Amino acid sequence: MESAEIARRFLRFFEERGHKVVPSASLIAEDPTLLLVPAGMVPFKPYFLGQRKPPASRLATAQKCVRTPDIDEVGRTTRHATFFQMLGNFSIGDYFKAEVIPYAWELLTKPESEGGFGFPEDRLWATVYQDDDEAFEIWHKTVGLPADRIQRRGLADNYWHMGVPGPGGPCSEIYYDRGPEYGREGGPVADEDRYLEVWNLVFMQYQLSEVRSKVDFDVAGELPSKNIDTGMGLERMAAILQGVDNIYEIDTTYKILDKAAELTGTAYGRDPRTDVSLRVIADHVRAGTMLVADGVMPGNEGRGYVLRRLLRRTVRNLRLLGSGDRRLMHTLTDVAINVMGEQYDELKTDAPQIHAVIDAEEASFLGTLRTGTAIFDVAVEETKRKKAATLSGEQAFQLHDTYGFPIDLTLEMAAEQGLKVDEEGFRRLMKEQRERAKADAAAKKIGNADVSIFGRLLEEAGKVEFLGYDETAADTTIVGILVDGASVPAAGAGTEVEVVLGRTPFYAEGGGQLADQGVIRTGGAEVEILDVQSPIGGLVVHRGRIRSGELKTGDEAHAEIDLERRRAISRSHSATHMVHRGFKNALGETAAQAGSENSPGRFRFDFTAAGAVPQSVLRDVEDEVNAVLVNDLKVNAFYTSQAEARAMGALAMFGEKYGDEVRVVEIGDYSRELCGGTHVHSSGQLGLVKVLAEQSVGAGVRRVEALVGIDAFRYLARESVLVSQLTEQLKARREELPERVEGIVTRLRAAEKELEKVRSAQVLQVAGELAGKATDLHGVSVVTHRAPDGTNADDLRKLALDVRGRFPSDRPAVIVVAGVPSDRPVVVAAVNEAGRERGLKAGRLVGVAAKALGGGGGGKDDVAQGGGSRPEAIGDALRLVEQAITEQLG
């Protein structure tokens, strides 16, 4: 039974029993304490905590999840994985143990021909919490499971809570006996490799008042409304139902693994080291594909770093299998899209964008590997020069932390050079880094974000009616006032408040569009609104400051937005849609929106692209958009189903999730896009769009910034004035300016080079004179010299080396020169081989001088450089160097 069919059967079973099937939430967690969704129940936490009203009291889902704490174990064991899917059925104050346990037994044991999973009854076991006699009796007397196949376990195994005060309770786990070939008898308490957990039923029946650890907490009492939360791992179920030994051999993973083996000329099951790499590749490609599909972009922090690490570990393991610099991720991602597309249609729709992001990250990391290899070669040379046999832990950590060089690759390449790596030192530094990260995370942890106050407001007031598509001012009612996060009945002048209205013309920030600003007036107060947000669906919160009077809950009010600001933002939003279509036309379907910000008169647009966009393409897109808007196309908005909108070809922001009903915004026949924002009535109202710049904002993502309307006109007017000034100054026609300016710049650069040569020659002219005036200190020729101000650091270095080269090889010599290239002093020291044999080191001498200059520096024993912030101390610095030489030699 394929994975997609397992999910279909599970959801259909519970739908037939009155459950509302909820699509998987995005992997990007709403909970601010989480980067990604790590468990199937996470999207349902607000319902269990009473923060939001659930869409139904009975729910079922197949939720995408990602966990990465054990990422280093992926592939090394057959149990660890980063991406997985959790099937779950939930009851919020509806049914409880007496219903859910028989449900689970029925679905598991019902024959496949009747829509069940067909598990033999005599192979199933159950565990219950040690004091949960109720669950034991249901299993034994209602279901008929023999008492010797029901085992009691303690808090560590069979009790669940969220880790913070809130609901919790015992759980019952269902296990499948794989047979004696997998381990010893005795049930789950004896061997969890033989007895494999397939389903966990959590009974939320208590309110926990204090939670200190998994097994240490206080129970305040029973919940007034008991809940059910279950979790069935889809991948584990697939392994059992497909008759394979582990999750890497199920349909949605093995096809990726098999393709990776084919591409690298390897085979699975022959070499343990090869198997590890193939399993890592299969898991990480699937996880990376799903993360990118949900809008995560590779980066250096947060969830972006999680994705980057997964993709780079994949490339590294492909290299370990012999891929070299070949780019194989596109093919592997294609396999992942096809196998997971059975469950998630959007993967196939968004395939071009997914490929663009992953391909760009692969190309970037292959470049990183080349850079890291060069740094590695320097580290090897230094190690061998010291006649050592081991690369230090610090070097290995720097390669990993600074250059993204994987430790396994460092170990492999070091072995090829006949060297070892101080793994213990590397692991210690990695551990220290992790501990710092954990400490930082602990300091920032705030538990489950408390949005319950907003949930209560929404429940009391109902969904706030948004009028802003058609109205810019409206009569309404004050239904809620918050001060510092607490609900209050009234607030006075000068107070910063959050105001909830029964109906509002104010647009809450979202979809890239900035929030409206404006004013709310009642009979006794005036509130300046500076920001508008929607913390939970259906609720609009107006943030601002009371200018005068007293604002009270229940007051009749008049809300009015800043109309000019709204119009300017709407122009920017409509322009973003048109630019999106323009880039699609110019670059193809891979140019998908990956973010935007629509401000008054200005917007930025992020889109997926493999590399920089040529200036000619930017000009073409700009020309196309302006040509279209001149036609004054009508802008139309309407609601339809998501399926119908996609069938029309409506564009959607890459990675964004939409409900069943969506709003479509059309600009004539030119642009059609899913959007909840505000827009102009016709394209001619934009006036003009001017693209300013294009740049990278991450692997596979580019950003365009542009102006629209009067801001674009003002920009071009300033440009025109500037061009006029240049034509006057250079006595040239406008069309001649580029050539004339290029000629001037070329001549200027040539003159600067000649001047630099003259300056360098003048500096080096004194080399012979300086060598002739050397001071003898205990048999060592010492030269200290202050160069003229303006001498650059390179010339100071050349001078020091030139003077040093004028002494016989058997004559110890030290040369120290200093100067002020701009406003900060620089000092260079050079010591010949005979001088180094006397124990003199350039790095140490530079340190002495730099300290006197108020700075620091260092380098090798033969030549070193430093600097500081006190140019007036150069004379003292040179005297201290001579003193240090005398003390060392004396």
Could you list the residues known to form a binding site for Zn(2+), using ranges: 573, 577, 675, 679
**What span, in angstroms and rounded, lies between the C-alpha atoms of 336 and 831?**
60
Tokens standing for 855?
Answer: 């700075």
Radius of gyration over alpha carbons of the chain, in Å? 35
Number of neighbouring beta carbons within 10 Å of residue 554: 13
Contact between 763 and 798 under an 8 Å Cβ cutoff? The reply is yes
Feature table: binding site: 573, 577, 675, 679
**What span, in angstroms and rounded, lies between the C-alpha atoms of 60 and 7?**
11
**What span, in angstroms and rounded, lies between the C-alpha atoms of 38 and 24?**
13
**What span, in angstroms and rounded, lies between the C-alpha atoms of 371 and 362?**
14
**What span, in angstroms and rounded, lies between the C-alpha atoms of 417 and 556?**
80
Pick left, alpha or beta for residue 156 (phi over 0 → left; psi -120 to 50 → alpha; otherwise beta): alpha
Q: Which residues contact 370 (CB under 8 A, 6 or more apart)?
A: none
Residue 91: beta bridge partners? 58, 228
Handedness of CA 50, 56, 59, 65 (dihedral sign): negative
- HSE toward the beta carbon, residue 535, CA cutoff 13 A: 23
Please identify which residue in the block is written with the tokens 């009270």: 552
Pick left, alpha or beta for residue 731 (phi over 0 → left; psi -120 to 50 → alpha; otherwise beta): left
N- to C-terminal Cα distance for the chain? 86
Tokens standing for 19?
Answer: 């459950």
Tokens standing for 873?
Answer: 């101390």
Contact between 205 and 194 under an 8 Å Cβ cutoff? The reply is no
The residue type found at 702 is R
Tokens standing for 333?
Answer: 């991602």
Tokens standing for 516?
Answer: 């409206």
Burial of 689 (0-12, 13-18, 19+ CB in 10 A): buried
Look at residues 456, 400, 451 and name the one whose alpha carbon lies nearest to residue 423: 400
Contact between 469 and 433 under an 8 Å Cβ cutoff? The reply is no
**What span, in angstroms and rounded, lies between the C-alpha atoms of 871 and 852?**
10
Residue 474, classed as helix, strand or coil, is strand
**What span, in angstroms and rounded, lies between the C-alpha atoms of 591 and 582?**
10
**What span, in angstroms and rounded, lies between the C-alpha atoms of 252 and 2?**
8
Contact between 583 and 625 under an 8 Å Cβ cutoff? The reply is no
Tokens standing for 476?
Answer: 């309404």
Distance of CA 875 to the CA centre of its chain: 52
Look at residues 528, 530, 506, 520 and name the one whose alpha carbon lies nearest to residue 555: 520
Look at residues 102, 1, 93, 82 and name the one whose alpha carbon lies nearest to residue 56: 93
Tokens standing for 213?
Answer: 């650890």
Measured in degrees and rounded to the nearest 5, phi and psi for residue 150 equal: -120, 115
**What span, in angstroms and rounded, lies between the C-alpha atoms of 687 and 742?**
33
**What span, in angstroms and rounded, lies between the C-alpha atoms of 459 and 537?**
12
Burial of 109 (0-12, 13-18, 19+ CB in 10 A): middle
Residue 206: beta bridge partners? 168, 222
Maximum alpha-carbon separation in the chain: 107
DSSP state string for 541-554: EEEEEEEEE-EETT
